[in-house]
Amino acid sequence: MTTPSCILLRDSADPAAFDAAAFDAAVWGRVFNLRRDTTRVPFAVCQARTTADVVAAVELAKARGPGCRVSVRSGGHSWAVWSVRQDAVLIDLGGLDGGRIGFDDATGIVSCPPAITGQTLNGFLADKGRMFAGGHCPDVGLGGFLLQGGMGWNCKNWGWACESVEAVEAVTADGEVVRCSETEKADLFWAARGAGPGFPAIATRFYLRTHPLLQLFQSLYVFPLAEFKTVLQWEIDVAPTADEDTEMVCVSSYMDPSAEEPTILANFTTFKPSLAEAKLALSPLHASRPPGATVTVFCQPTSLAAQYAAQTAANPANHRYCSDNAYIRRDDPAAVPAILEPAFTTLPSRKSCALWFSMNPTSRRHNTGMPMALSMQSDHYFALYAVWEHESDDAANVAWVHDTLRAVERDAVGSYLGDADFRHRRTKYWSDECGAKVREVRRAWDPEGRVCGFLDQGDRRLKEVGNGKGAN
């Protein structure tokens, strides 16, 4: 089999011609997290420019024989670096289709390859008066984001980003080019909405329903760390009746790098046609706020560009990351602040943060018949992001994430794939029924386990995915 020019082989037939630096750059150059397991070395890297290149990579894995898998990278923002797998054929989609974005004026549906970021897509859509609720972080590729469900803009009310996926084009584990939707290969389409890396094919183009582009307004309140439980309880109490176009978050971080301790930020972002409507949405929250804020901002105009800039500052490039998350039980909302207090008051570095994100009412309507694998959520999404610069600080930062999650495990019902790391914790990512169906779809579309699934400790699991205590 002749190797296409888009594919770099680790074991070249001509060792003298092997460019180790080029191969290493192809493997790691587009990985966001500098904390990397470089003992994992792919057999080959396909820098795909066309769907035919993706097919060629699959055919290479097939020709190499049983046990050779393909892994996939879209944006490279996976904290656990799902895409780099030992002896696999890594398919890098960063240059697929030249980043071509298409738009149907009649339907408002936009199409794009997986490596396109939410920021790029919304820059394209702005001229058309539309937007897509992609990831808050501007450099997150839509591929992994959508396959994992997509906790995007105003997910609390508008629902998961994957609910706006109209269709997906993909290359199967056998090298067939297919299109899936609710009426075409519906089981594969179901898996594309929430199976994450368990999707048993390589997504090459998404077709997405868009929203009208509205104005953005923001209210924010900064409180001393000692007020954490009061502030979070306030947000939990107002979440169920808050305006349907308003997302809310509670964050512990060192907003002032010179401060002795973190502060607590209560942040409310609303999407409205006018300032007057934004004030109506945000006024009840402003009136009910607890006393003691050191900074108060009410209904300040903002924009997606400004929000992306803030997220870039909070997620700096060329840093080391460790993340994990949990959905906290909703049966006793008054207990949540006490459960999360240790996490929010013990940040391991000045660039780290702890986050609570309100998911109610989306969390209350997730079993409404929408055909999607995504099925695990609660009113309270909790995530930890340890961020640091030096390898010598790895142990302390990683331990904080893992120890903190173990401490809240008994009060959690599961986790979100997007901020998870299967190598260190086993929990639920789907309902029991959906977890079983993920296994069935993987077996039907990839019986040989050719497409890399979930990266567990030692990368042992090849063909299927479980649920609950056998989560991967």
Average model confidence (pLDDT) across the chain: 93
**pLDDT, tens digit (0-9, with 9 covering 90-100), for 388-427:** 999 999 999 999 999 999 999 999 999 999 898 888 888 8
Average pLDDT score over residue span 168-184: 97
Distance CA 287, CA 268 (A): 13
For residue 472, pLDDT beyond 60: no
Please report the pLDDT score of residue 309 as a whole number. 96
Cβ-based burial of 200 (10 A; exposed 0-12, middle 13-18, buried ≥19) = buried
Q: Where in the chain is the domain with CATH 3.30.465.10?
A: 96-212
Average pLDDT score over residue span 201-227: 98
Please report the pLDDT score of residue 11 as a whole number. 83
Angle CA(386)–CA(308)–CA(402) in degrees, nearest 5?
Answer: 15
Cβ-based burial of 459 (10 A; exposed 0-12, middle 13-18, buried ≥19) = buried
Distance CA 175, CA 146 (A): 22
Q: Band of the pLDDT at 465, cuts 50, 70, 90? A: very low
Query: Model pTM?
Result: 0.94
* CATH code of the region 215-419: 3.40.462.20
Instruction: Say whether domain 96-212 belongs to CATH 3.30.465.10.
Output: yes
Please report the pLDDT score of residue 13 as a whole number. 59
Q: Where in the chain is the domain with CATH 3.40.462.20?
A: 215-419
The H or E element containing residue 203 is strand 201-209
Please report the pLDDT score of residue 369 as a whole number. 62
For residue 386, pLDDT beyond 90: yes
Strands (E), 121-191: 130-131, 165-172, 177-180
**pLDDT, tens digit (0-9, with 9 covering 90-100), for 81-120:** 999 999 999 999 999 999 999 999 999 999 999 999 999 9
Q: Which residues, in sequence order, are bridge partners of residue 296? A: 221
More confident residue, 264 or 419: 264
Closest CA relative to residue 348, chosen from 384, 311, 391, 314 = 384
Cβ-Cβ contacts under 8 Å for 217 (sequence gap 6 or more):
269, 270, 272, 275, 278, 279, 281, 282, 299, 300, 301, 302
Q: Band of the pLDDT at 470, cuts 50, 70, 90? A: very low
Please report the pLDDT score of residue 370 as a whole number. 73
For residue 79, pLDDT beyond 50: yes
Please report the pLDDT score of residue 331 as a whole number. 86
